[in-house]
Homo-oligomer: A and B are copies of this chain.
Amino acid sequence: MYKLEKIEGGVCAANGFYADGISAGLKANNAKDMAFIYADTMCEIASTFTTNKMAAAPIKHFKSKGDFKTNFVLINSKNANAMTGDAGVDDIEEVLSHLPSKAVNPVMSSTGVIGVRLPKEKLINGLAQFDLTQQNPTSAAQAIMTTDSFKKEIAFQVTLRDGSSFNIGAMAKGAGMINPAMATMLCFITTDADVANATMQKILDRVVITTFNAASVDGDTSTNDTVMLLSNSKSGAYDEEAFEDALHQIMEFMAKQMVKDGEGATKLVTYKVTGAKDDREAEVVAKALSNSLLVKTALYGEDPNWGRIASTVGASGAEAKEETLTISFDDVCVYEKGKLYFDAEMEKVAAAVMKKDEFTISCDLGLGSGEFTAFGCDLGYEYVKINADYRT
């Protein structure tokens, strides 16, 4: 028994965390492009990073540190510091060396264009604007955005049965190059729960599978994907089930927010695959659906073209049969185990579902008990517009 209550405060909702965003001049028009998260005591840190073999310099820098505690995360947008080799890591060390001495074992996280050296002078000059006593989580959430059209933050107060409570809050960015196998998404979560570091990493690894790793905007896994979870234990309160539930709700919220904010996206679609031979095959099908260009353009056209769903299931590589497959749009079943009953009337009902901003496409493969749920979006003209000339 515990209670989850949504509260304000983002990454500053947990006791002892400070954050702000400023303009260091990387983005045009003095838009915010550099943020910090600072904790007034040292924090345990759990993390998960991209599986892209061209992992960016900030990820190499983080991993080179081995086991460590920290109280400071520096984040910039507009430049990914990826494909920059050893020089990229050196740039990070130089920038971090200019932080005030209160920042212990600081780490960095970057997002933006790949293959350009970090404009370190601008960043170093920008550091002077930081005030570590500020609690402006929304400014921080804005500063880490790239093609995002809205900022992404959330926080919960978790009250346990004995009346004790802890807070957990997060900010994230991500709108394109999103196919987290652990995605260009960044997510920073802070908590004052009294959680042991080893447990925290295990829970994070578990939760990421069904949240960020289940989300796709375009099937492209970025060089910079990062989730960091910082805890300072200040509340003295902890319950594993409550903590995992809160973390799951936060990460699922952020994953859905990213897909909803998918470049040019107008719809958030949940792909619920059941009846697969096993969970792994269900995942293969769910991700094939969320990444299929033909499915995504049909969604954009609000066309209940279930034939493309069936074809994608068949092409996914997973075991599947025409005779056992069932496809539904929300509660409208359009194809059931070999029965073709998609007529003009049903097309009207199915088309009405497709007009919604959010709906579920269910595929039951009718073969076993494997299941997986993925989150995807449509693909329209705006996606092309945003990505045809991203760098300029």
Contacts and interface: CB of A to CB of B under 8 A. Distances in A.
A315 B384 contact: no
Interface stretch (A29-37, A38-46, A80-88): A80-88
Interface stretch (A112-120, A154-162, A163-171): A112-120
Contacts of A384: 297, 300, 379-381, 383-384
Interface stretch (A66-74, A128-136, A213-221): A213-221
Interface string A259-299: 00000000000000000000000000000000111100110
A342 B11 CA distance: 37
A78 B138 CA distance: 53
A310 interface: yes
A335 B220 CA distance: 20
Interface stretch (A15-23, A187-195, A301-309): A301-309
B379 A297 contact: no
Contacts of A113: 307
A336 to B, nearest CB: 11
A92 interface: no
Interface residues of A, number: 70
Given A387-B293, A387-B301, A388-B380, A83 B115 contact: no
A301 B384 CA distance: 9
Contacts of A318: 53
A281 B3 CA distance: 50
Given A319-B53, A335-B115, A381-B381, A82 B388 contact: no
Contacts of A320: 53-54
A54 B85 contact: no
Interface SS majority for chain A: loop
A294 B52 CA distance: 15
B54 A293 contact: no
A182 to B, nearest CB: 11
B54 A313 contact: yes
A311 B54 contact: yes
Given A113-B307, A301-B388, A293 B219 contact: yes
Copies in the assembly, this chain: 2
A303 B389 contact: yes
A176 interface: yes
A223 B311 contact: yes
Nearest to A311: B223
A222 interface: yes
A257 to B, nearest CB: 20
B52 A115 contact: no
B54 A387 contact: no
Contacts of A116: 307, 340
A322 interface: yes
A234 interface: no
18 contacts: A53-B320, A54-B322, A83-B340, A115-B307, A115-B335, A115-B340, A115-B342, A116-B340, A177-B311, A220-B311, A222-B311, A293-B383, A297-B383, A300-B388, A301-B388, A303-B389, A379-B384, A384-B384
What 9 A-B pairs come out closest when comparing CB atoms?
A114-B307, A301-B388, A54-B314, A297-B387, A221-B315, A115-B307, A53-B314, A52-B314, A301-B389
Given A177-B294, A219-B293, A220-B308, 11 more contacts: A52-B311, A54-B314, A85-B322, A85-B338, A113-B307, A115-B307, A220-B294, A220-B312, A297-B388, A300-B388, A303-B391
